[in-house]
């Protein structure tokens, strides 16, 4: 009996020593793996943004994660983590963007697309299309991005990821105001626009806003009669910030709140309203195109008395049966709601989006009354 107890104690001691050894080995191995991953990440970041000599991981309160690249302590750009919805799930991308807001490099890091098809979007030819793109560009397949043949859905996912990265870069890195639905510079034609506001401290404020290639390039206050010695600071600071942030809503100048708000309001009034208003479209039949799941979808939209009265599908080569619910329901929903802001059919999401894009294209290019 005594021998059995002795043997049990010896076995327990051996197990304890072995367990401790394995735990120590696992701890060391985990640290090595973690260190290697960190080294691989740093190497990848360096390839994406070679101007930087150091990277700072930034996690925003809302969960947004990116790496701020610095050179000699000064920001030179950032590598944004983003994703777009693909056929098999999220398509994750790393997008390096410089301090001017232009894309430097795009790298697809992970996806669950069909083997041999989804991988096609990782080629330099496809990803090279994004270089130089900014938040003012469409960055949309079928417009300024050409999809990879046979991988349209995955191509769209990458484009969506890049758009998301550009939007996040504007807000978190450049400190610009988040874009709103009714303020889309990308749709504003080049020109000089005048705006007036009564929000000044003593009098109205007039401005001229110059827009080129979807960007505000200058803001000039042509009239103001607010307090001398204070208003001038707002004129200088606010106009500069609006050009920098590419948005009318910026920080006010201390001591000149009313003048600051008046300038911002005048700029907002100067920028044309690009909201699609069906009631302003002239009567007629208008054709448009959108990218479906497998093909370009062409439609003819009839407008009469300021309302959409009919939508006809002219051309499409979508998957039979699968896409049928979209063709059956989306046109009717748009006519019923008198809006292109309708929900996609869950079983035919990309075909639904293609129909909505085509109708939107037709209406946006239609003449106004």
Q: How far is CA 206 from the centre of its chain?
A: 32
Domain boundaries, the chain: 54-173, 185-270, 278-364
Are the C-beta atoms of residues 283 and 263 closer than 8 Å to each other? Answer: no
Q: Which helix (H) or strand (E) holds 235?
A: helix 231-245
In angstroms, the CA 210 to CA 254 distance is: 26
Instruction: Indicate if 278-364 has the same CATH topology as 54-173.
Output: yes
In angstroms, the CA 85 to CA 209 distance is: 37
Could you tell me the pTM of the whole model?
0.53
In angstroms, the CA 20 to CA 349 distance is: 54
Enter the CATH code of domain 278-364: 3.90.1010.20
In angstroms, the CA 174 to CA 184 distance is: 18
CATH architecture of 54-173: Alpha-Beta Complex (3.90)
38-42: Cβ within 8 A, 24+ apart: none
Enter the CATH code of domain 185-270: 3.90.1010.20
Are the C-beta atoms of residues 274 and 364 closer than 8 Å to each other? Answer: no
Q: What is the largest CA-CA distance in the chain?
A: 105
Tens digits of pLDDT across the chain (369 residues): 555 545 554 555 455 544 555 444 444 455 555 656 566 777 789 899 999 999 999 988 777 889 999 999 999 999 999 998 787 778 999 999 999 999 999 999 988 887 787 788 999 999 999 999 998 888 888 778 998 988 888 888 899 899 999 989 988 898 775 555 456 787 788 999 999 998 788 889 999 999 998 889 999 999 999 989 889 999 999 999 999 888 898 888 888 888 998 999 899 999 987 778 899 899 999 999 998 888 899 999 999 999 999 999 999 999 889 999 999 999 999 999 999 989 888 888 889 999 999 999 999 889 988
Q: Which letter does DSSP use for residue 281 in this model?
A: B
Are the C-beta atoms of residues 330 and 336 closer than 8 Å to each other? Answer: no
């Amino acid at each position: 009996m005594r021998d059995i107890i002795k043997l049990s104690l010896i076995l327990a001691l051996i197990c304890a020593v072995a367990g401790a050894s394995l735990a120590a080995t696992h701890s060391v191995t985990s640290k090595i793996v973690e260190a290697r991953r960190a080294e691989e990440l740093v190497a990848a970041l360096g390839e994406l943004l070679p101007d930087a000599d150091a990277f700072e991981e930034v996690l925003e309160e809302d969960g947004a994660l990116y790496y701020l690249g610095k050179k000699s302590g000064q920001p030179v750009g950032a590598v944004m983590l983003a994703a777009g919805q693909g056929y098999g799930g999220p398509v994750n991308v790393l997008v390096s963007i410089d301090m001017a807001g232009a894309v430097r490099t795009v790298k697809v890091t992970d996806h669950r697309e069909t083997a041999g098809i989804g991988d096609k979007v990782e080629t330099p030819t496809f990803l090279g299309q994004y270089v130089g793109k900014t938040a003012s560009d469409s960055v949309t397949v079928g417009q300024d991005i050409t999809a990879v043949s046979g991988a349209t859905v995955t191509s769209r996912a990458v484009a969506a990821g890049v758009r998301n990265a550009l939007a996040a870069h504007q807000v978190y890195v450049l400190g610009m105001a988040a874009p709103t639905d009714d303020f889309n510079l990308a749709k504003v034609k080049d020109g000089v626009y005048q705006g007036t506001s009564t929000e000044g401290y003593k009098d109205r404020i007039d401005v001229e806003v110059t827009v080129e290639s979807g960007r505000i390039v200058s803001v000039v206050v042509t009239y103001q009669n607010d307090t001398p010695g204070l208003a001038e600071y707002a004129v200088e600071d606010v106009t500069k910030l609006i050009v920098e942030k590419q948005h009318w809503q910026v920080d006010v100048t201390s001591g000149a709140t009313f003048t600051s708000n008046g300038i911002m309001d005048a700029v907002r009034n100067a920028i044309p309203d690009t909201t699609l208003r069906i009631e302003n479209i002239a009567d007629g039949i208008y054709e448009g195109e959108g990218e479906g799941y497998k093909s370009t979808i062409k439609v003819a939209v009839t407008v009469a008395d300021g309302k959409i009265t009919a939508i006809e599908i002219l051309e499409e080569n979508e998957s039979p049966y699968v896409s049928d619910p979209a063709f059956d329901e989306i046109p009717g929903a748009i006519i019923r709601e008198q809006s292109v802001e309708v929900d996609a059919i869950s079983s035919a999401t990309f075909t639904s989006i293609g129909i909505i894009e085509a109708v939107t294209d037709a209406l946006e290019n239609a003449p106004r009354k």
